């Protein structure tokens, strides 16, 4: 099954992508994670993306489209995949269609902007393996230390309050129009993000099975 997860920054796409990945045994592909990894490794893509990302802006379409084109050719995508954070603009969705990639369902995770600001201010990520935590909703066992690899957990640079606001504006202007795009294709299903991650996961898996 080929799926897209749509939603504002901090709506819980990454969290749900991990749940679906485990439940359906298909890879979760996050353009955000791929770009952050490129940045860490100082590659050309990483350098091109840095200033945009730090300001909460979208990285240019051609950069992310190339990333996805390459990633989808990998063997692990043959039985399906979950796209987390791609497409983010109508031209990116059109590029996916032009590549001949058939999408079965688009799951929108809806969460109000005020809740998002609270969620992102508490998010901590492992600087080594990227595992994600929340100071209130999903704390690591020892404060500031990753449960998976024992490295330090840090605040993501683009989770600073002013940058979160910029990311929300970009979402409403450039990404939200994708809802209409996929509604017209009869593929959009909306899941209301719940206070408990497990509750949202139940609704997400139900939406995929329906």
Q: Pick the closer one to ligand AP5 by CB: 45 or 200.
A: 200
- Is 71 tagged catalytic? no
Catalytic residue among 36, 88, 119, 124: 88
List, as one string, the DSSP characters of 30-75: EHHHHHHHHHHTT-HHHHHHHHHHHTTPPPPHHHHHHHHHHHTTSG
Q: Pick the closer one to ligand AP5 by CB: 107 or 167.
A: 167
- CB-closest chain residue to ligand AP5: 32
Q: Please report, for residues 17, 95, 128, 133, 144, the alpha-carbon distance to residue 147 in angstroms, rounded to integers and kept in the order given.
A: 19, 38, 12, 10, 10
Catalytic residue among 50, 98, 167, 206: 167
**CA-based nearest residue to 84, from 33, 155, 127:** 33
- Is 124 tagged catalytic? no
Binding residues (CB under 6 A) for ligand AP5: these are: 7, 9-15, 30-32, 35, 52-53, 56-59, 64, 85-86, 88, 92, 119, 123, 132, 134, 137-138, 158, 167, 193-197, 200
Shortest reach from residue 100's CB to ligand AP5, in Å: 19
**Which residues are part of the catalytic machinery?**
13, 88, 123, 156, 167
């Amino acid at each position: 099954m080929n799926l897209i997860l749509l939603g504002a920054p901090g709506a819980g796409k990454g969290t749900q992508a991990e749940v679906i990945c485990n439940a359906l045994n298909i890879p979760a592909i996050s353009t955000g994670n791929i770009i952050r990894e490129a940045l860490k490794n100082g590659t050309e893509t990483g350098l091109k993306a840095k200033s945009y990302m730090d300001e909460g802006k979208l990285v240019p379409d051609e950069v992310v489209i190339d990333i996805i084109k390459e990633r989808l050719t990998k063997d692990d995508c043959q039985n399906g995949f979950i796209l987390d954070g791609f497409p983010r603009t109508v031209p990116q969705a059109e590029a996916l269609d032009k590549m001949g990639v058939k999408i079965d369902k688009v799951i929108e995770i809806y969460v109000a902007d005020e809740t998002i600001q609270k969620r992102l201010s508490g998010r901590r990520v492992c600087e080594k393996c990227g595992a994600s935590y929340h100071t209130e909703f999903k704390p690591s066992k020892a404060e500031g230390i990753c449960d998976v690899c024992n490295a330090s957990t840090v605040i993501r640079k683009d989770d600073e309050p002013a940058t979160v606001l910029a990311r929300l504006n970009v979402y409403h202007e450039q990404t939200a129009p994708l809802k209409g795009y996929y509604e017209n294709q009869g593929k959009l299903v909306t899941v209301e993000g719940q206070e408990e991650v497990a509750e949202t996961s139940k609704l997400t898996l139900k939406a995929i099975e329906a």
